[in-house]
Amino acid sequence: MFLGSAIQGATGFGFGLFAVAAMSLFESLTVTTPLLAVLNVPVTIYVFWKLRHSVVWSRLAVIIAATLVGIPIGVFVLVNWPQALLMRVLGVVLILAGLRSAVATRNGNAPRAEACPESRWPDVVLQLLVGLSVGALGGAFNTGGPPIIAYMYCRPWSKEERTAGLQAVFVINLAMRIVTMSCAGLYNVALLKTAAICLPGAVLGMFVGHALFRRVPARGLELFVVVFLLAIGLKLIIFPGG
């Protein structure tokens, strides 16, 4: 939790992906996914509250509605699919996220909107697909960030509007995920105690990450995350059981 939160604070991304990748080595996804959802709450709400005035809700309505459809699908997959299959799917997700991060890092991180390829699909269709994938990946693996980040950074919006839009989608997605996973019986006293134990590490990591933001080369941290995601992704595909 500490390392994932520190990476998030220093680079602006990585908590969900890094933490789910690391914890998948020790715990089943039916424990990891709901645990990370709870630990995401303070950071997500804090960042959203700071940027709430920059949110353009009319641009996000279709995406948010689609995420609310995708979340139950993801939670259903989490609860009902065999653990080995889930681990292999997570491995594929981590590899794709790692490759995308590698390309973004090589190109100077976030792409400019004018550099994005022109889509032949109507924007509303893209929003539906992005929202469904964000909801399903978040519900199953707590890793819904890459699709919405790729979409947002290809919009001709200001930096503040993009970041605020991301946080708005994340905070609503997170609330719905916790409610859905609670209805599925994934939360219990032992898991909530574990979350309480992990929370100080996550909060401390966030402050350490912010402190290191100007002192540690971002490219080095991003490269570390990329290599880690690719390595764990390959491990989960080849050896899903441990």
The per-residue pLDDT for range 146-171, each reduced to its tens digit, is 888 888 877 888 877 888 888 899 89
Give mean pLDDT, residues 31-42: 90
Confidence of residue 102 (pLDDT cuts 50, 70, 90): confident
3-state secondary structure labels for all residues of 53-77: HHCCHHHCHHHHHHHHHHHHHHHHH
Q: What's phi and psi for 60, nearest 5 deg?
A: -105, -5
For 71-109, letters b (16+ CB in 10 Å) and e give: bbbbbebbbeeeeeebbbbbbebbbbbbebbbebbeeee
Is there a contact between 179 and 187 (Cβ–Cβ < 8 Å)? no
Question: So what's the pLDDT on residue 115?
Answer: 46
Q: Does residue 53 carry a pLDDT above 70?
A: yes
Q: From the CB of residue 188, how many other CB atoms can be counted at a distance below 10 Å?
A: 11
**Distance (Å, rounded) from C-alpha 204 to C-alpha 169?**
25
More confident call, 10 vs 41: 41
Question: So what's the pLDDT on residue 2?
Answer: 86
Structural domain including 96 reads 2-238
What single-letter DSSP state applies at residue 39?
Answer: H
| Number of domains comprising the chain | 1
DSSP string, 160-211: HHHHHHHHHHHHHHHHHHHHHHHHTT---HHHHHHHHHHHHHHHHHHHHHHH
**Distance (Å, rounded) from C-alpha 240 to C-alpha 237?**
6
DSSP string, 121-151: S-HHHHHHHHHHHHHHHHHHHS--HHHHHHH
Rounded to a whole number of angstroms, the CA Rg of the chain reads 17
Residue 187, phi-psi category: left (phi > 0), alpha (psi -120 to 50), beta (remainder)? beta
Give mean pLDDT, residues 46-58: 87
Give mean pLDDT, residues 30-53: 86
Percentage of the chain exceeding pLDDT 70: 86
Question: What's the sign of the alpha-carbon dihedral 23, 36, 105, 122?
Answer: positive
The mean pLDDT of the chain is 84
**Distance (Å, rounded) from C-alpha 180 to C-alpha 166?**
21
